[in-house]
Structure 1
Amino acid sequence: MRIAFTSYEYPGETGGGGIGTYLQIVSKLLHEQGHSVVVFTATSEKSPFWENGWVYRIPATNWQSFNDLLPSYFLPIHCSKPFDVLEATDFQACGLSIKKALPFLPLVVRLHTPLYMVDRLMYKPLPWRSKLRFAFGALRKVQLPSFPSGPNRADYKREFDIINAAEVVSSPSQSIADEMMRLGFPLNGKTEFVPLPFESEIASRSIMNHQALSNSPLIVFIGRMEIRKGVIELAKSVPSILKKYPKARFVFVGASSLSPRSGVDMISYLQEMLKRYITSITFTNRVGREEVF
């Protein structure tokens, strides 16, 4: 089968977040199984180039420009040797431009977490005191107060459009599919649950080295340090774990992001939150995937 993937993000030049890591692993596994795979991703270079046998980088500065420019690079390759299926991302509707240009090319949309959901999770309504200050400030200027509102679904129309256009939606879990349906994404009747891929050699090595829980367990968080990843919930469990296992160690691996406190990054926020236990905790910030394993 000949399979195309589209994503501005891909490890190396344009980042290695969850979308890029997934694509790096799944494209490699499919390639090793004999499928013809092409990952269309971005570069800051002025000309497109093949990074290896299946990764093709095109000039783009962000997700939007990548999606807009994608057809002009995708279509010639498709015309010379047609793809059987396209997998695009829900995030930023990356690949929607291809479906519009080639409506009969089967489209699978992989759920990673659409921007609409991310923005809703990160949105914090103004506290009532702030609303009062906001209102008084407007009234002093003889204006009616207009309070900041949360994410507006209409601003994320493209993400809803790509789900509508998909023949199949691929979800890594039931929970993300349920949450997206709650937000109004039309997933009913076309959702397949496909767990995240992993490299069995690395996983089996880790399993072989696994030992029974000792009196000094090592607990590791790997991922971007942001609210929706559950890092605060893990941090809240630190005192009770240390009470039972005083020699336990915690390592938080990942780049810092926004915290619940305005102007404070997540690592600083957690360091303050856990200052009584800081001798048992290490924050590495972002490290390369190879260093993690």
Structure 2
Amino acid sequence: MKIAFISFEFPPDTAIGGIATYVENAALLMAQRGHQVEVFTSSPGSESLNEQWRENIRVHRVHTANRDQFSKLLLPVFTERHRQMDFDIAESPEYSYEGMEVKKKFPGLPMIVRFHTPSFWVKCLNKKYVAGNIKEKLKSMLGIKQYKKEKDKEYLFSLMADGWVVPCTAMKEVLTEYWGLDENKITIIANPFLPSKELLDIPVETNNNRISFIGRLEVRKGVTQLAAAIPLVLAQRPGTEFCFIGKPNHAPGKNGMMDDYLKKQLRSFEQNIRFIPHAPKEKIPELLAQTDICVFPSYWELFGYVCTEAMAAARGIVAGNIGGMKDMLEDINGGVLVDPHSPQEIAGGILFLLNNSFERKEMGKRSRDKAMNYYSNKVAAMAEQYYLSKIKKH
């Protein structure tokens, strides 16, 4: 197959978040399976077309830092390359409707929309967990700025697509409930993941007595509830160290930054708390090797690549039971799933893994096996068959 991935995000120039990580892994796996893969992306620095990247992947970087303009600026570059290559299939995130102009111009080219997290859902989550419920309930009662999907370009672009793919059950439920998409036409295929040798070489058995959170320090990631759980853990295991790894976002009520907020909340336990505000990708295996248990108490997570990294590292995992991490861990009993709104449950999950090292290591082994075999080999084969089925329909 000749596959075109369209994504504003792609390393290294625009390695912004999970979409970049997904496209990188998906492109590599498809190329390794013998397909011709090209990526159409952006660069804030300069334009670079027909760039040779890893695994014989060609990358076309459009010079822009404006995500809203990317779809239109991409079109002439894609048009010329499609004339040369005659792609079999294209894929785009729904986010920022990045493949819309391509689909308009080439309606006969099968276009897959792989959902990450639509903007309307991000806003819903932010309103619920950041802006304050009372204010939003008042707006709802008055009918102020109510969401209308018919005016949402991400929704309209999705209707143009030839296939819909989501990485988890929770996202499928959101799309059927809020956008009214036919659940029978939404296919669940987990995001692919190629674990590094550095992650796989970490010994299963570690006893560092360290608990780590990795990710943005923000309300939606559950860090305030984790902070409330820490005293409960230290009451029983006073020698435990907690490490917050990630860039801080706003504190609740936007009163300062989250790291300062957490330090104030935990000032009585400062000898047990450590903050690492920035950890480059290549540093993550080292940090995971120093960690026994990872805690990801997100209120919502589509597909946490930090979780797949922890799985590949065979760490003990405590994760929120809402969203994609439930799909990732539940089927293999690869971690302890908890109510992310409950500090008591979070503390209970951490203490269970601290007090049951054998079970923690067995969970870690199962998680590593899934990271090695399912998220690379099986997921890639599923995506491959899905693409072929859509090409045949055209």
TM-score by length of 2: 0.63
Match of 1:229 among 210, 216, 221: 221
In 2, the alpha carbon distance for the partners of 1:43 and 1:204 equals 29
After TM superposition, give the deviation of residue 156 of structure 1 in Å.
Answer: 5.6
Match of 1:21 in 2: 21
Give 1:52-67 correspondences, 5 Å limit: 52-53=52-53, 54-67=58-71
After TM superposition, give the deviation of residue 151 of structure 1 in Å.
Answer: 5.9
In 2, the alpha carbon distance for the partners of 1:101 and 1:291 equals 43
Match of 1:135 in 2: none
In 1, the alpha carbon distance for the partners of 2:145 and 2:278 equals 30
Match of 2:244 among 246, 252, 256: 252
Per-residue CA distance 1:15-45 (angstroms, 9 max, x = gap): 3311111111221222222211111111124
Kept after mapping to 1: 8 A contact 2:10/2:41? yes
Query: Cα–Cα, structure 1 residues 160 and 282, in superposed 2: closer, same or farther, change >3 Å?
Result: same
Q: Root-mean-square deviation (CA), in Å? A: 2.6
After TM superposition, give the deviation of residue 185 of structure 1 in Å.
Answer: 5.0
After TM superposition, give the deviation of residue 158 of structure 1 in Å.
Answer: 0.9
Give 1:68-147 correspondences, 5 Å limit: 68-123=72-127, 124=131, 127=134
After TM superposition, give the deviation of residue 148 of structure 1 in Å.
Answer: 9.9
| Higher RCO (C-alpha under 8 Å, 6+ residues apart) | 2
After TM superposition, give the deviation of residue 265 of structure 1 in Å.
Answer: 2.1
Structure 1 stretch 80-89 or stretch 196-205: which is displaced more?
196-205
> Counting helix residues as a fraction of each chain, which structure ranks higher?
2
Query: Cα–Cα, structure 1 residues 205 and 275, in superposed 2: closer, same or farther, change >3 Å?
Result: same
Match of 1:241 in 2: 233
SS across alignment from 2:172: helix
Match of 2:154 in 1: 159
Give 1:21-40 correspondences, 5 Å limit: 21-40=21-40
Asked if 1:195 corresponds to 2:199, the answer is no
After TM superposition, give the deviation of residue 56 of structure 1 in Å.
Answer: 1.5
In 2, the alpha carbon distance for the partners of 1:118 and 1:253 equals 22
Structure 1 stretch 114-123 or stretch 252-261: which is displaced more?
252-261
Unaligned runs of 5+ in 2: 286-394
SS across alignment from 2:183: coil
> Letter of the aligned partner of 1:268 in structure 2?
D
SS across alignment from 1:220: strand
Query: Cα–Cα, structure 1 residues 90 and 243, in superposed 2: closer, same or farther, change >3 Å?
Result: farther
Per-residue CA distance 1:155-187 (angstroms, 9 max, x = gap): 861111122122222211101221233222525
Match of 1:176 in 2: 171
Structure 1 stretch 192-201 or stretch 104-113: which is displaced more?
192-201
Kept after mapping to 1: 8 A contact 2:244/2:274? yes
In 2, the alpha carbon distance for the partners of 1:241 and 1:151 equals 42
After TM superposition, give the deviation of residue 149 of structure 1 in Å.
Answer: 4.1
After TM superposition, give the deviation of residue 87 of structure 1 in Å.
Answer: 1.2
TM-score by length of 1: 0.83
Query: Cα–Cα, structure 1 residues 40 and 289, in superposed 2: closer, same or farther, change >3 Å?
Result: same
Unaligned runs of 5+ in 1: 132-146
Match of 2:263 among 247, 257, 271: 271
Q: What is the count of residue pairs matched by the alignment?
A: 274
> Letter of the aligned partner of 2:204 in structure 1?
H
After TM superposition, give the deviation of residue 232 of structure 1 in Å.
Answer: 3.0
Kept after mapping to 2: 8 A contact 1:160/1:185? no
SS across alignment from 1:192: strand
Structure 1 stretch 277-286 or stretch 115-124: which is displaced more?
277-286
Kept after mapping to 2: 8 A contact 1:5/1:40? yes
